[in-house]
Structure 1
Amino acid sequence: MEQRRNEAVCESTIGELRRPIKPERAQAAIPANALKSPGLLLATASATCALISLDTNIVAVSLPSIARAFHAGFADVEWVVSAYMVSFASCLLPMGGLADRYGRRRMLVLGLVVFALASLGCGLAPGVAVLNVSRAFKGVGAAMLLTAALAVIAHAFPGPRERARAWAIWGMTMGIATTIAPLVGGVITQWVGWRWIFLLNLPVCGFLAACARRVVPESRNPHAQRVDFAGSVLFGVGLACGIWALIGTQSAGWHGAATVARFGACVLLIAGFVVVEKRLAHAVIDLSLFSQARFVAAVLGMFGYAACAQVMMTFLPLYLQNAFEWSPVAAGVGMLPFALSMIAGPYLGARIARRFRGATSTLSIGLGLVGIGNLATAALAPAGHYAWVALGMIVTGLGAGVLNGDTQKAIMACVPAHRTGMASGISTTTRFTAIVSSVGVLGAVLAARTRGALDATAACAHAVSACVDASFMSDLLAGDLAHALARVAPEGRAAMAGAAPASFASGFAAALAVAGVLAVAVALAVWLLSGRRAEA
């Protein structure tokens, strides 16, 4: 099952396939036995994708350390994740088309250069603003790398047997990277310093670029379709405005003029994106696909998976460090129940698929497990007992593993073979859009509930209540408790030091409850859409 999913994922990088391409017109694939070093080619492309996965999931553990280094607020810390995700999600589809048009190896090497330079900017950033701008450029480089690397594998291994083996190795590499990312991030952050999370990318990128130039042959599609830059820009800027509005609610409020203006710009830009996609023959998304109930159910499944399960890779390290006051290494180890259960999840998904014989049924059950796990963790988080929280994490991880094995496959099964590039592009873009949107929404819930819990404490109700302002809350949520406590009068500091972690745990529980309810709601929607398709 995982093997078939990996094969489907690769198609997202063969370009923005809008029409069938006659076999005799497309550039012929290179037989695996004709490659000088097929093993090295596969290792280079797989390691490049693993670098992206590692970088995507490694940063969350370092967020409190970054906040303390720059005395950055919670909104700034959210942008460390969101700037990367927004640019990544916005650039995936156009980069695939550019790789087909101008050369996949060229795009791979250029992507490594961009990724390395952006990593250097992150590692040397003098402040959080430079860090976040560098993270945005890093997302562009990551989109170039992912699309080019997967296209290289798909082009180099055309035969069913060698392609299946290649994607199995690729999938194993990605799974290992995702599993070890929190622990690696914790070790580097605590023992070397958070800046080396980014700086260590430089020699890795240099080595991979040298390997790519040596073992990856150039390939392109001479009849690739024109890239839809207008649609990509409208979507990317609209998404950024929406995330800006969500993150900005912590200072501007939900009804503030700035929030309303940002949400308004988001709506207008996304509406413009829809208009452009309807008019262009080479649009990045064929909106007519959304008239199919099965396709909508599959996309909803991907959205729910990313928004309610994958987003925990960002929030769980914050919770473990802020609520338990754990070190980065301890937080990385504390993430293992979630990560390891994700590995076991696909095997559970295979058994569910055999039992119920329907992709949407598997999606519904997986989302249900995510919802139950999140709700259980939300109920147990305020108590402050890690063992019970870990049980909830395991349930959520199992559900995430089930979905990780089937969401992509369900989307790909809804479209004809010549549209798989675009469909998989929609899938991947949905994944990262859901993550970044969920970071904004759940972050706002976390901030509001933490403030409410802190206001309700006896300590906050008396002498220190005046000290709990927006700056205090921003530092607390970002993980810089020491800087937040410096604003509190000495006589109330001890009481606040105990109340603040408990209040954060309460806020985290509220955010998880929202994610749990959303997962259950999406599971029900997917189930109903499946029934509607059956009746039709």
Structure 2
Amino acid sequence: MALHQAPPTTSLSGRGRALALLVICAAELLVVLDNTIVNVALPSIGVELQTSMSGLQWVVDAYTLTFAGFLLALGHFGDRYGRRRVMTIGLLGVAALSVVGALSGDLGQVVAARAVMGVFAAAVFPATLAMIITLFTDPREKALAVAAWTAMAGFAIAIGPTAGGYLLEHFSWHSVFWINVPVALVVALAARLLVPESRAEHVGRFDVVGLVSSLVAVTALVWTIIEAPHRGWLSASSLAGYVLSAVAIAGFIAWEKRTAAPVLDPTLFANRRFSLPALSIAVGYFSMFGFLFMITQYFQGVREYSPLEFGLHSLPFAVAVGVGGPIATLIAQRFGATAVIVSGLLIVSTGMAIAGQTTVDTPYVGPVLLSMVLMGLGLAVVQGPATDSIMSAVDLDGAGAGSAVNDTTREIGGTLGVAVLGSIVASVYSARVTPLVDAVPSALMTDGEKGFASETVIAVIEIATRPTPSLFEQQKAELILAMKSASLEGFQFASYVTVSACLACAVAVAICMPWKPAADSVLAAARTRRR
């Protein structure tokens, strides 16, 4: 069965394609920004709704879980039923669930709203990149458009703290939900007016088994990664999660090899221009999300910045991502993606190595600023050419599924970064700080306050501003310094893991991925299909 093919998107003028790209990037910005802006509001949500830090973490994780799990399925839906249509439905869903989140009166309602919001966001994200591939068929234009898309993704992640800090400076935590509503509605309308519809020209029977097995595989894996730091990486529940995910992945691959109309052709992973860039993106986002997790604690706990100050001081990271992406993609067009991806991974390694040497007295202008710029630049250098290589390995009919793989690797890599590096930081920090906190008299700190101080350096903010009898001022100052030093010691150990992962990936790409620039396989596949 073949679905009706929308009019060719290449019939748009250059100005029309530029406007469509602007709308598509705005949709991407909304989805990615929503996944980071909420982090800044977590303390305010916790105070008003009287909940624990572990409960608050699910405000973020519920979104991540459903978003990652549904990417492949909804990317396939876009290929089949229309990418603009699926993206528009996703935008309207994000708007509706944002209203629900803003009006929620307890944590359970907020978490539920965020979970469903993640499903609608998964309808938006793969459609954006897939539509770019169909809009821009000239290799150079396509590479620049993909670079703009990748730069926007990194930029959105980086400016989340600034946007969230500004909103909390002037409004309540509800504003991080309300802000989505007008933006989503405007972008949905603009997409209807300015973005042409596109869908796969040839589709087969609906692959229910493939969709369900992919959903189970990714959701089980992400759930296990999220819960592992709390339950234990080798606990019975974690091992069960790994096994379930592995079985579902094996079943997915076996089924997709035999079905006539697969959701995703598993032989794509044998293509080194597809699999190795996907691995590079996963490692890049592992590093970036881990770095942002650590830098958040550093700015708020060690430097004692307000949310807005933290956001403003993190802007160099966003600028580096925005500038580096397009330049790296242009260079990759001439010299090949392999050389650029390897260079990007080495830059990330350097930035993380510098960040790991930060001490309590390290000035912002110097190693801290340099590490942020290098991390942002390195990520941009990796993800632009890597994304272009991934999308050039799939044909136009599978653009949505290919985009979903690209997006899923980002989510899994980022989730692993926070979970693994966060566990390292937490274990080192708790081992150093817990005995000191336990020694504080109960008259000065309750058991709950001691527990919070033993978990995160952000507790410094409350301890530093709390009135303390002069007899205990010196003890308080020593405790605060010990907490800050312990967190930075944890950062140092986490940086070793990140540097090792980036270097290992750089070696794998350098050895296994072809160095010669590839022809634009999207165009080649499209021409072959038309013959």
TM-score computed with the length of structure 1 as normaliser: 0.79
Deviation string 1:186-214 (CA, Å, 9 cap, x unpaired) is 11122213321111111222333344455
> What CA deviation, in whole Å up to 9, does each residue of 1:245-283 have, x standing for no partner?
344344433444444444443344334333433443333
- Residues 6, 197 of structure 2: 8 Å contact kept: no
Verify the 8 A CA contact 1:61 1:332 in the aligned structure 2: no
In the aligned structure 2, how far is the partner of 1:97 from the partner of 1:37? 26
SS of equivalent to 1:283: coil
Q: Equivalent of 1:364, from 342, 345, 348? A: 342
Q: Give RMSD over aligned pairs.
A: 4.3
Amino acid at match of 2:310: A
Work out whether 1:203 is the aligned partner of 2:182: yes
> Which residue identity does 2:27 align to in structure 1?
T
Other-structure match for 1:377: 355
Which of the residues 141, 163, 167 maps onto 1:184? 163
Q: Deviations over 1:387-425 (max 9, x none)?
A: 322221222122112112211123234456765554443
Amino acid at match of 2:364: Y
Q: Report the CA distance shift for 1:42/1:301 in structure 2 as closer, same or farther (over 3 A).
A: closer
Paired residue for 1:277?
256
**In structure 1, distance between residues paired with 2:149 and 2:283:** 25
For this pair of structures, how many residues does the alignment match? 511
Residue 447 in 1 paired to residue 426 in 2?
Answer: yes
Q: Deviations for 1:66-118, whole angstroms, at most 9, x for unmatched residues?
A: 44444544444443333222322222222233234334443233212210122
The yes-or-no answer on 1:96 pairing with 2:96 is no
Find the partner of 1:334 among 307, 313, 316.
313
1:297/1:530 contact within 8 Å kept: yes
Contact 1:360 1:527 in 2 (8 A): yes
Q: Which of residues 483, 488, 501 is equivalent to 1:505? A: 488
The correspondence of residues 158-173 of structure 1 with structure 2, limited to 5 A, is none
In 2: Cα distance, 1:94 partner to 1:533 partner: 33
Q: How does 1:479-498 map to 2 (within 5 A)?
A: 479=458, 495-498=478-481
CA distance in 2, matches of 1:152, 1:353: 22
In 2, the alpha carbon distance for the partners of 1:169 and 1:441 equals: 30
User: Could you say if the C-alpha distance between residues 207 and 384 of structure 1 is closer, same or farther in structure 2, counting changes exceeding 3 Å?
Assistant: same
Deviations 1:491-516 (A, max 9, x none): 66665444334333333333333222
Counterpart selection for 1:520 from 480, 499, 503: 503
* Unmatched 5+ stretches in structure 1: 1-18
Quote the sequence identity (%).
Answer: 30
* CA distance 1:178–1:264, shift in 2 (3 Å): closer
Maintained 8 Å contact 2:280/2:505: yes
**Gap change, CA 1:229 and 1:314, over 3 Å in 2:** farther
Contact 2:36 2:157 in 1 (8 A): yes
Moved more, 213-222 or 113-122: 213-222
**Pairwise CA distance, 1:147:** 3.8
**2:75–2:403 CA contact under 8 A, matched in 1:** no
Task: Give the superposition deviation at 1:470.
Answer: 11
Where do residues 341-356 of structure 1 align in structure 2 (5 Å cutoff)? 341-346=320-325, 349=328, 353=332
Distance 1:226 1:312, change over 3 A: farther
1:450-489 equivalent positions in 2, closer than 5 A: 450-455=429-434, 457=436, 460=438, 472-473=451-452, 476-477=455-456, 479=458
The corresponding residue for 1:138 is: 117
Contact preservation (8 Å) 1:321, 1:479: yes
Q: Residues 19 and 194 of structure 2 are in contact (CA less than 8 Å); yes or no, is this contact kept in structure 1?
A: yes
- Shift of the 479–132 alpha-carbon distance from structure 1 to 2, 3 Å rule, reads farther
- Aligned residue type for 1:241: A
In structure 2, the residue corresponding to 1:296 is in which secondary structure? helix
Q: 1:230 aligns with which of 193, 203, 209?
A: 209
Give ranges in structure 2 of 5+ residues lacking alignment.
518-531
Partner Cα distance (2:31, 2:196) in 1 = 22
Partners in 2 of 1:384 and 1:27 — Cα distance?
57
Q: 179-188 or 410-419, which moves further after superposition?
A: 410-419
Deviations 1:14-59 (A, max 9, x none): xxxxx9x8xx974432565699987765554442222223323333
User: How many angstroms does 1:290 deviate by?
Assistant: 2.7
Q: Is the 8 A contact 1:310 1:400 kept in 2?
A: no
Please list, as runs of the form range in 1=range in 2, the aligned pairs for 1:233-248 lying within 5 A after superposition.
233-248=212-227
Moved more, 317-326 or 493-502: 493-502
Per the TM alignment, residue 467 of structure 1 is displaced from its structure 2 partner at its CA by: 7.3
* Aligned twin of 1:129: 108
- Closer, same or farther in 2 for the Cα pair 1:527/1:128, shift >3 Å? farther
Offset, 1:366:
0.9
Distance between the aligned counterparts of 2:339 and 2:147, measured in 1?
A: 25
> In the alignment, which of 31, 43, 62 is matched to residue 83 of structure 1?
62
TM-score, structure 2 as length reference: 0.80
Alignment of 1:298-337 (within 5 A): 298-337=277-316
Specify the SS of the correspondent of 2:275: helix
Q: Are the counterparts in 1 of residues 76 and 263 from structure 2 also a CA contact under 8 Å?
A: no
Q: Residue 490 of structure 2 aligns to which amino acid in structure 1?
A: G
Q: 2:265 is matched with which residue?
A: 286
Residue 483 of structure 1: how far off its partner (Å): 7.4
Aligned residue for 2:39?
60
